[in-house]
Amino acid sequence: MNATVVSMQKAGTLQQSLVGNVVHEDQTDTVLVQCERGVVNASRAFSCLVRPIVNDKVLLAFSGHEVFVIAIISRDSDHTTLDFAGDVELTTKCGKISISANEQIMLSSRGAIHQVSDSNHVVCSTLEFQSEAVSLNAATIQSNSKQSFINSDTMTVTGTNFYQKVEQVVRWVSKLETVNINNWIQNIRNTLSSRSKNAVITAESDMKIDAERIHMG
């Protein structure tokens, strides 16, 4: 049996590694670094996730005519930026992922932000939403609070059944209240009191007033 031998190409060899200081950066993956060889133009290695900034002490790798920043050794400031060129996916097959900060956590996107989970819990002292439009779709909505305030120029409530159960209702209508009802039934246990400057009751056919005593005038 004749064997086929395929020659393997020799991979690029790392020739030297030096430590240098970043002297210029322009928000790209290429920076100018001062090292023993002088000022060199170095590209950020793919595995170096932190973007180098001026005055960073970095580790350089020389491979042929290419120079790479493979690590940031030290930095004068506490600011760190993780910079990626394309799509990023953070995944754990088992366990959990935690993100914590002493001050703020900010999420910003030019596109949409999607959250998908079995349950979502938010615990905070103050929660504020600002949006031009809000759409909420749910099979059941339950709200519990000591006080609720709703301010709106126009409010529309549409449904099949509407139930209210409270101890006391006080309502102020400054101009006009119009009620359009097919049938209106009021069951009042004690007293029905109606006061107005003028009162008009109109019935097309019959009007019935039934009581033990009727006082008029």
Upper half-sphere CA count for residue 136 (Cβ side, 13 Å):
6
Q: Answer whether 106's CB lies under 8 Å from 112's CB.
A: no
Can you give the pLDDT at residue 79? 86
What CA–CA distance (Å, rounded) separates 52 from 82? 10
How many distinct structural domains can be found in the chain?
A: 1
Q: What is the distance, to the nearest Å, from the Cα of residue 205 to the centroid of all Cα atoms in its chain?
A: 60
Q: By the 8 A CB rule, do 30 and 41 touch?
A: yes
69: Cβ contacts below 8 Å, ≥ 6 apart? 31, 33, 42, 43, 44, 45, 48, 52, 58, 59, 60
Give the whole-angstrom CA distance, residue 109 versus residue 107: 7
Digits of tens for pLDDT over the chain (217 positions)? 565 554 444 445 556 678 999 999 887 788 999 998 899 999 999 889 888 999 999 999 998 889 999 999 999 988 888 888 788 888 998 889 999 999 889 988 889 989 888 888 889 889 898 888 989 899 999 999 999 999 999 999 999 999 999 999 999 999 999 999 999 999 999 999 999 999 999 999 999 989 899 888 7
pTM: 0.58
Amino acid at 110: R
Identify the pLDDT of residue 67.
93
Residue 79 lies in a domain: no
The answer to whether residue 34 sits within a structural domain is: yes
**Count of H helices and E strands in the chain?**
0, 5
Residue 51 lies in a domain: yes
User: Is 131 within a domain?
Assistant: no
- In a domain? residue 59: yes
Closest among 63, 76, 71 to 46, alpha carbons compared: 71
Rounded to 5°, angle at Cα 43 from 41 and 46 = 170
Of 43, 21, 44, 51, nearest in space to 34 by CA? 21
Q: Report the pLDDT value the prediction gives residue 4, as an integer from 0 to 100.
A: 55
Beta bridge partners of 33: 22, 40
Q: What range does the domain containing 30 cover?
A: 19-74
- Position 5 scores a pLDDT of 52
Residue 26: CATH number of its domain: 2.40.50.140
14 within a domain of the structure (yes/no) = no
Q: Is residue 202 part of a domain?
A: no
CB 58, CB 73: distance < 8 Å: yes
Q: Where are the beta strands (DSSP E) in the chain?
A: 16-25, 30-35, 38-44, 57-63, 66-74
Which residues 6+ apart lie within 8 Å of 84 measured at CB?
Answer: 49
Query: Does a structural domain hold residue 32?
Result: yes
